Amino acid sequence: MSRITPQPGIMDIELYVGGKATVEGVSDVVKLSSNENPYGCSDAAKAVHAKSGHNLHRYPSTDHSDLRVVIGEVHGLDASRIICGAGSDEILQFITQCYAGVGDEVVYTEHGFSMYPILARMVGAKPVKVAERERVVDVDAILAACTKKTKIVFIANPANPTGTMVGGNEMARLADSLPDGCILVQDGAYAEFVDGFDGGASLIESRDNVVMTRTFSKIYGLGGLRIGWGYGPQAMIDVLNRVRQPFNLSTVQLSVAEAAMRDQAFVAKCRADNARMRAWLAEALAELGVPSDTSCANFILARFVDQAEAEACDDYLKSQGLLVRRVTGYGLPNCLRITVGDEASCRRVAHAVGQFKGGAR
């Protein structure tokens, strides 16, 4: 027998399954399975990317100060309390690595983002799944599940894959009622899709146990480049920076993210277009007998009669070149998560679901 064994928890990790991008035998494919921006990214970001080749021999800055300053200006935040990473996933990993370990508990919710239990296991902690109420995070249930061993509570707000939100007062109540030494992580991957929402930044100002993560992968349309950031109390950011590798972001990532952050007109346009098409798609599906909760993000969680119908519809959509996401692994076997695409894609989805419901399968 081999004496080479991984750390506790590692072999319990189920590999993350990403959204599909191709369908064999179908050429005109629309990918609506990973909540990407259907409009791509800002032209200003593309222009910076096109010019970024001439400096590739240089190491990037280690402290990301230019990008942090721009993020701080745009969001009205203290740049010294911002940390940048390779996607918000990396910030979530820093938080878990620094604050949870063997014997600790990490709380997430019934339909919570699948990276949370993976991160808990990565550090040998126990992931504790808490029930939601009708696909909405239940603060009282979370508080009831917390023990002295609970070190982190992860909540995506808006949530993926449900698209629902917890209000600011509830989040504040949760933060203030957590056991001593437990951190509330507000995952704001979809925060920009909510008009006027600060991702929970205001909760952080007066507390030492709340942190927020954000990403360039969704509304900024830069998922392929891998850039995210976090904001928290100074003491916590100082801790996270100790495990961050000095060159975790490349010169290209940093310069493109800076240009993208400066182009808030692009962000505002994407937010408005998403809201318009999301409302249209939700209504079109509801008229076809496929209801959904009001979504605050860039996807809709479409509810079917049962798992068999959801899977049959997914197969039919696939045959039509429309890739959406099955969410059985999220405890939602009768649902499909459909990213809100551009108008043409939304019309294709509604048309195909209509054909499916009309018996075209």
Residues that bind ligand PLP (CB under 6 A): 35, 87-89, 113, 156, 160, 187, 189, 215, 217, 223, 228
Q: Closer to ligand PLP by CB, 113 or 304: give it.
A: 113
Nearest to 191 by CA among 154, 228, 156: 156
List strand residue ranges (DSSP E) for the chain, in order. 30-31, 82-85, 105-109, 126-130, 150-156, 183-187, 210-215, 228-231, 299-303, 322-323, 325-326, 335-339
Number of residue whose CB is nearest ligand PLP: 87
What letter would DSSP give residue 116?
A: H
Q: How far is the CB of 157 from ligand PLP (least distance, A)?
A: 9
Q: How many angstroms separate the most distant Cα atoms in the chain? A: 60
Strand partners, 128: 107
Q: Closer to ligand PLP by CB, 111 or 151: give it.
A: 111
Q: Closer to ligand PLP by CB, 138 or 187: give it.
A: 187
Q: Closer to ligand PLP by CB, 108 or 266: give it.
A: 108
Q: How far is the CB of 2 from ligand PLP (least distance, A)?
A: 33
335 contact partners, CB below 8 Å, separation of at least 6? 161, 301, 302, 303, 304, 310, 327
Q: How far is the CB of 299 from ligand PLP (least distance, A)?
A: 9
Q: How far is the CB of 36 from ligand PLP (least distance, A)?
A: 9
Q: In this structure, are residues 215 and 189 in contact, taking their beta carbons and an 8 Å threshold? A: yes
Q: Closer to ligand PLP by CB, 89 or 258: give it.
A: 89
Q: Is 286 exposed, middle or buried (0-12, 13-18, 19+ CB in 10 A)?
A: middle
Q: Closer to ligand PLP by CB, 115 or 350: give it.
A: 115
Q: In this structure, are residues 91 and 229 in contact, taking their beta carbons and an 8 Å threshold? A: yes
20 contact partners, CB below 8 Å, separation of at least 6? 31, 33, 323
Q: How far is the CB of 95 from ligand PLP (least distance, A)?
A: 12
Strand partners, 129: 108
Q: How far is the CB of 339 from ligand PLP (least distance, A)?
A: 10
Q: How far is the CB of 189 from ligand PLP (least distance, A)?
A: 4
Q: How far is the CB of 226 from ligand PLP (least distance, A)?
A: 7
Q: Is 107 exposed, middle or buried (0-12, 13-18, 19+ CB in 10 A)?
A: buried
Q: Closer to ligand PLP by CB, 157 or 209: give it.
A: 157
142 contact partners, CB below 8 Å, separation of at least 6? 107, 109, 130, 153, 155, 174
What letter would DSSP give residue 280?
A: H
Nearest to 206 by CA among 241, 168, 149: 168
Q: Closer to ligand PLP by CB, 87 or 199: give it.
A: 87
